[in-house]
């Protein structure tokens, strides 16, 4: 015999279990309410580090910084999964166990429910004592009392249909609508022998409702499983990419055109539709203090085999294309430069996206010029101030609009490091093999440029011309064919939850002797009700039914205040 | 007087009235407690004297069997509490609406705006429940919370209104945020009921430091409070579920992903899971009662954390406020 803990405080001696017995025991534990509860609590606890510590998927730069700053804790936490909590083995284990528990829990409950739905209403208990019964006396006979009670419980039951016998058939005749049958009381009335009284028979009414509550609960839990399945399927069928388009440029939907691209295991790249998107214009509006009020991108979308069409998108209004959505994610400036090298040949020409660093669009960018005719490669780091105000030695931008755009440029010569085959970040200059171009004073040279300026680099290195200042828009593209399913499951979960929490589960019983006591003119009805503890209104309902059944409440009626 | 001044004055008025309501309702609660203790002592004395106190089943309570004597106390304090709470709520409402007019959009985009709206909702939820049944024992907790929250809002959190950022200009702002605030308001009242339930429960079972607080006698038995708290939590939980879902829809619309484990999303999820655990615990052997109540309170703490600590200290996409 083994001692097994069966409750918080109790132990039981149980026979030793065989292998199958153990499996069954484990399964029973996993699907028990207590384990489900503990798993829920664990799930909540396990999520918290995901908001406190930096996470790889959300913010890789910050996470790397955290690891570098904490040489002991950083790598340790990383190895234990704390820097990618929601992808970690332990988090996955918790929610998979929870869902195993959930499935193991709802399947039997669905079966029980199915049986319950078709089972007849059980008769009223022979003794109501356990349910705090109340009594009332009525001047009518028991049959009239019961018919009134039925009518009060369910107005769909016609009070005129008199016969008593075939309860089942009458329920079908008078309550044909499925939802009513579901939501209302199911009623039966039995004529049965009476115990411990001088009357020899009695009428016992038994009214049940509660199918909606349990149905809602099952819908809710099943929908949770559906949500999980939809999310898992979605992550396999999805693809998403980010692309940055300068005004006037055209983007073609292909993996190479994206700045970043990722897709689920079941999505292959040749499923991408080759549509094109031309960014015709981008409008950014700001208020006086520089807070953004509206961003609008105007574009031309050309889908294969279709006429090009004009589309317009704002931050909350994605463009729909071929089952995917294109979101406007960010924007900024992409100054256009022409750069000539020492030999006077054009070595670079084009727009360079600058990334905004703050609310006034102080933006930084990098120009890499690998293709010089002779000599060393050129590199530049630059800062753009859209509305520059110079105050002595410092300059800053006052507003995100390009009222007085100024670029501060710093030049480097050397090896850009592009030939190593390691993909480089286009927004960063690898300075390890570069040296800054110095001015006459020997300090690294910083050049100020206005729109349209051409500057000469020292030592005859070449020239830089700032031609134009167009804007760019950053787009995020995403396809996830399971979204409608996800939404559907979520709505079902919400509906199920509301049904489960707000639909009442009630039992009401009325019992009255068929032949009154010798010499008495009134029928004494005994009534009781049962509902979950939070449902305090069931007593009021019982009262209402009793009043309707007997025509009055013999006991002093409570004042409204006492309710 | 412009809308900004009106909002400001009305809200300070509401703070003052809530404070008065808190004091008055506490006084009332103490009276009720005295009366209840007196009634209990009388009943005990009658039993001790050997007299059969009252064998006839009390007819009025026949349909509402309760183990405690019903005590009715009328006090001036109760009247003051009622009227100040009501007027306070009206002023609070005026303050919110005037702020909305001043800002030119629904006033739900900064912590200050959440706070003034959230306290309003909590007090209104209390008034609604109060109009159905006597829950004056919740009044000190609710008005006390409202006084403090609104006071902090007016002094610490105040920010001049601004236009809305493009990312916030959406129908979903109205849906998602308003339901979140309403859920919070309901859960605040639920938490007050749960705190009282636990205090009463522990006092009844002899916890020493609670014996000093005689006013606890004025609140109903733990089982009744649990029933009330459950109904509030149930409503709050459904609203919170909706909030999370609407948030996901909105995130899908504007960020291109419905769920990204941003700190705010993590905490909304944590809150949801804790309250789900509470709902399960209520029906789990060994957990129903005290432990489930504690879970509900942990959920509430998480809710407040989500609004305060997470907003202020955690970087995420939600840091507009
Ligand atoms: C993903 C995990 C789960 C979540 C989020 C969840 C959520 C919920 C919620 C919110 C309720 C409240 C409805 C109500 O009180 O009527 C509920 C009820 C219920 N859950 Fe779950 N549940 C989960 C897993 C489970 C599991 C694994 C089981 C079985 C062991 C289970 C069994 C039940 C039962 C029996 C009820 C009805 C309680 C009652 O009202 O009597 N749930 N669940």
What DSSP line would sit under B179-235, residue for residue? HHHHHHHHHHHHHHHHHHHHHHHHHHTT-GGGTT-GGGGGSPPHHHHHHHHHHHHHH
The 3-state secondary structure of A459-508 reads: HHCCEEEEEECCEEEEEEEEECCCHHHHHHHHHHHHHHHHHHHHCCCEEE
**What pLDDT does A264 receive?**
87
pLDDT band at B230 (very low <50, low <70, confident <90, very high): very high
Q: How many CA atoms lie within 13 A of A373 on its CB side?
A: 11
Query: Residue A249 phi/psi, 5° resolution?
Result: -85, 165
Q: Could you give the residue ranges of the DSSP H alpha helices within chain B?
A: 3-48, 76-103, 111-132, 139-152, 171-172, 178-204, 222-255, 263-282, 290-307, 309-313
Contact status, residue B74 vs residue B38, Cβ threshold 8 Å = no
Residue B157 DSSP label: I
Closest CA to A543 of A531, A553, A533: A553
Chain B interface test: which of A40, A106, A287 (most B C-beta within 10 Å)? A40
Q: Cβ–Cβ contacts within 10 Å for residue A201, how many? A: 15
pLDDT digits (tens, 9 = 90+) for B179-218: 999 999 999 999 999 999 999 999 999 888 998 888 898 9
> Is B174's pLDDT higher than 60?
yes
Of A316 and B229, which is predicted with more confidence?
B229
Q: Are A513 and A201 in contact (CB under 8 A)?
A: yes
Q: Which two tokens stand for residue B314?
A: 């955690």
For B127-165, the pLDDT digits (tens) are: 999 998 889 999 999 999 999 999 999 998 888 776 666
- Residue A343 tokens, joined: 């030999």
CA distance A40 to A102: 11
Ligand 1 atom closest to the Cα of residue A35 is 30
Give the DSSP H or E segment for B67.
none
pLDDT given at position B61:
35
Whole-number average pLDDT of chain B: 86
**Whether B266 and A50 lie within 8 Å, measured CB to CB:** yes
Contacts of A218 (CB under 8 A, 6+ apart): A106, A109, A110, A113, A496
How far A17 CA lies from chain B's nearest CA (Å)?
25
Instruction: Provide the shortest C-alpha distance from residue A51 to chain B (in Å).
Output: 5
DSSP state of A559: P
Residue with tokens 């639909």: A503
Q: Which residues of B touch A33 (CB under 8 A)?
A: 280, 283-285
Contacts of A104 (CB under 8 A, 6+ apart): A27, A30, A31
Task: Report the pLDDT value the prediction gives residue A187, as an integer from 0 to 100.
Answer: 86
Return the H-helix or E-strand segment holding A247.
none
% of chain B exceeding 70 in pLDDT? 88
pTM given for the model: 0.83
Task: Write out chain A residues lying below 8 Å of B165, CB-based.
Answer: 291-292
Rounded to whole angstroms, the Cα distance separating A399 from A379 reads: 28
Contact between A186 and A116 under an 8 Å Cβ cutoff? The reply is no
pLDDT of residue B188: 96
Which pLDDT does position A198 carry in this prediction?
66
Q: Do A44 and B270 touch (CB under 8 A)?
A: yes
SS3 B265: helix
CA distance B130 to chain A (A): 12
The model's pLDDT over B240-268, given as tens digits with 9 standing for 90+, comes to: 999 999 999 988 887 778 999 989 999 99
pLDDT at B53 over 70: no
pLDDT score recorded for residue A13: 52
Q: CA of A116: how far to CAs of A522, B66, B147, in Å?
A: 37, 33, 51
Nearest-angstrom CA–CA distance, B7 and B262: 33
Task: Tokens for A366, please give them.
Answer: 């990098």
Quick one: pLDDT band at residue B59, thresholds 50, 70, 90? very low
Contact between B266 and A493 using a beta-carbon 8 Å cutoff = no
pLDDT at residue B38 above 60? yes
A37 CA → ligand 1 middle, Å: 9
CB A63 within 8 A of CB A54: yes
Bridge partners of A193, per DSSP, are: A201
Rounded CA-CA distance A159/A241 in Å is 67
- Which residues in chain B touch residue A8, judged by CB atoms under 8 angstroms apart? 286
A368-395: burial string, b at 16+ Cβ within 10 Å, e else: bbeebeeebbbbbbbbbbbbbeeeeeee
Instruction: Output phi, psi for A497, to 5 deg.
Output: -65, -45
Q: Is A181 exposed, middle or buried (0-12, 13-18, 19+ CB in 10 A)?
A: middle
Q: For atom 17 of ligand 1, which residue has the closest CA?
A: B280
Gap from B13 CA to chain A (nearest CA, Å): 31
Determine the length of chain A: 563
Q: What is the mean pLDDT of each run of 10 residues along chain A (563 residues)?
A: 45 62 79 90 96 89 91 94 95 96 92 89 89 86 86 64 41 46 80 76 89 93 97 92 92 88 86 90 89 90 90 86 86 94 90 91 92 88 92 86 92 85 78 86 88 89 93 91 95 96 92 72 87 86 88 48 38
Q: What pLDDT does A180 receive?
A: 62
In this prediction the ipTM stands at: 0.89
Angular region, B153: left φ>0, alpha ψ -120 to 50, beta rest: alpha
Q: How would you label B237-247 residue by residue, b for 16+ Cβ within 10 Å and e otherwise?
A: bbbbbbbbbbb
The verdict on A533 touching B (C-beta cutoff 8 Å) is yes
Mutate to test the pocket of ligand 1, among A217, A495, A504 (most ligand atoms within 8 A of CB): A217
Q: Given an 8 Å threshold on Cβ–Cβ distance, is A327 in contact with B254?
A: yes
Burial A334-365 (b: 16+ CB within 10 A, else e): bbbbebbbbeeeebbeebbbbbbeeebbbbeb
Query: Which residues surround ligand 1 with Cβ inside 6 Å?
Result: A 31, 33, 36, 98, 101-102, 105, 217, 221, 224, 497, 500-501; B 276, 279-280, 283
Q: Identify the bridge partners of residue A283 per DSSP, sorted by sequence position.
A: A296
């Amino acid at each position: 015999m083994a001692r097994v803990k069966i409750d918080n405080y109790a132990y039981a001696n149980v026979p030793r279990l065989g292998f199958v017995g153990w499996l069954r025991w484990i399964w029973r534990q996993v699907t028990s309410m207590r384990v489900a509860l503990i798993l829920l609590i664990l799930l909540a606890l396990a999520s918290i580090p995901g908001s406190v510590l930096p996470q790889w998927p959300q913010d890789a730069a910050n996470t790397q910084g955290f690891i570098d700053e904490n040489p002991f804790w950083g790598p340790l936490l990383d190895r234990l999964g704390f820097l990618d909590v929601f992808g970690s083995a332990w988090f996955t284990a918790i929610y998979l166990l929870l869902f195993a528990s959930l499935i193991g829990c709802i399947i039997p409950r669905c079966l029980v429910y199915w049986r319950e739905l078709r089972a007849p209403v059980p008769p009223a208990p022979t003794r109501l004592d356990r349910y705090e019964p109340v009594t009332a006396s009525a001047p009518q006979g028991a049959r009239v009392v019961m018919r009134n009670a039925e009518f009060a419980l369910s107005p769909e039951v016609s009070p005129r249909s008199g016969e008593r016998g075939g309860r089942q058939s009458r329920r079908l005749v008078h309550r044909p609508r499925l939802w009513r049958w579901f939501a209302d009381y199911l009623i039966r009335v039995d004529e049965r022998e009476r115990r411990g009284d001088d009357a020899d028979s009695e009428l016992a009414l038994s009214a049940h409702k509660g199918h909606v509550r349990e149905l809602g609960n099952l819908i809710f839990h099943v929908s949770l499983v559906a949500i999980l399945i939809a999310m898992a399927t979605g992550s396999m069928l999805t693809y998403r990419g980010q692309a940055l388009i300068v005004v006037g440029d055209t983007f073609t939907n292909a993996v190479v055109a994206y700045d970043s691209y990722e897709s689920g295991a079941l999505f292959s790249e040749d499923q991408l539709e080759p549509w094109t998107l031309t960014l015709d214009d981008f409008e950014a509006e700001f208020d006086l203090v520089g807070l953004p009020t509206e961003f609008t991108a105007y574009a031309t979308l050309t889908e294969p085999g279709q006429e090009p069409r004009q589309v317009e998108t704002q931050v909350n209004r994605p463009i729909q294309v071929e089952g995917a959505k294109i979101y406007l994610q960010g924007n900024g400036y992409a100054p256009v430069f022409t750069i000539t090298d020492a030999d006077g040949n054009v070595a670079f020409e084009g727009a360079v996206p600058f990334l905004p660093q703050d609310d006034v669009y102080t933006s930084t960018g990098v120009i890499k010029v690998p293709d010089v005719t002779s000599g060393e490669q050129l590199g530049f780091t630059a800062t753009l101030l859209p509305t520059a105000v110079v105050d002595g030695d410092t300059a800053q931008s006052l507003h995100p609009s390009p009222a007085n755009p100024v670029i501060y440029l710093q030049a480097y010569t050397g090896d850009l490091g592009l030939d190593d085959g390691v993909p480089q970040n286009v927004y960063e200059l690898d300075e390890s093999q570069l040296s800054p171009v110095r001015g006459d004073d020997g300090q690294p040279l910083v050049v100020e440029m206005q729109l349209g300026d051409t500057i000469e680099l020292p030592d005859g290195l070449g020239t830089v011309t700032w031609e134009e200042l167009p804007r760019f828009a950053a787009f995020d593209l995403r396809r996830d064919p399971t979204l409608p399913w996800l939404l559907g499951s979520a709505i079902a979960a919400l509906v199920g939850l509301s049904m489960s929490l707000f639909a009442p589960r009630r039992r009401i019983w009325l019992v009255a002797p068929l032949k009154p006591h010798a010499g008495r003119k009134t029928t004494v009805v005994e009534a009781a009700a049962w509902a979950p503890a939070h449902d305090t209104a069931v007593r009021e309902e019982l009262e209402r039914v009793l009043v309707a059944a007997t025509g009055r409440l013999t006991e002093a009626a409570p004042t409204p205040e006492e309710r | 007087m412009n809308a900004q001044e009106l909002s400001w004055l009305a809200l300070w008025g509401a703070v003052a009235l809530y404070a008065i309501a808190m004091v008055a309702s506490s006084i009332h609660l103490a009276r009720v407690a005295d009366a209840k203790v007196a009634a209990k002592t009388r009943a005990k004395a009658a039993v001790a004297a050997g007299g059969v106190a009252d064998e006839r089943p009390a007819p009025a309570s026949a349909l509402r069997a309760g183990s405690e004597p019903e005590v009715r106390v009328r006090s001036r304090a109760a009247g003051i509490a009622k009227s100040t709470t009501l007027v306070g709520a009206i002023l609070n409402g005026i303050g919110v609406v005037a702020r909305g007019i001043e800002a030119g959009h629904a006033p739900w985009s900064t912590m200050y705006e959440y706070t003034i709206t959230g306290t309003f909702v909590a007090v209104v939820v209390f008034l609604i429940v109060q109009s159905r049944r006597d829950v004056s024992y919740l009044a000190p907790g609710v008005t006390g919370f409202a006084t403090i929250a609104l006071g902090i809002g007016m002094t610490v959190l105040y920010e001049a209104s601004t236009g809305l950022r493009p990312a916030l200009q959406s129908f979903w702002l109205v849906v998602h945020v308003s339901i979140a605030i309403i859920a919070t308001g309901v859960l605040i009242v639920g938490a007050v009921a749960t705190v009282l339930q636990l205090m009463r429960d522990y006092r009844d079972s002899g916890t020493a430091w609670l014996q000093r607080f005689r006013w606890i006698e004025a609140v109903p038995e733990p089982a009744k409070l649990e029933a009330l708290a459950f109904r509030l939590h149930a409503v709050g939980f459904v609203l919170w579920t909706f909030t999370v879902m609407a948030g996901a829809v909105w995130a899908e619309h504007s960020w291109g992903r419905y769920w990204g484990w941003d700190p705010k999303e993590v905490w909304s999820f944590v809150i949801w899971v804790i309250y789900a655990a509470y709902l399960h615990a209520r029906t789990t052997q060994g957990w129903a009662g005290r432990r489930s109540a504690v879970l509900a309170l942990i959920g509430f703490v998480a809710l407040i954390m989500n609004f305060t600590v997470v907003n202020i200290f955690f970087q995420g996409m939600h840091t507009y406020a």
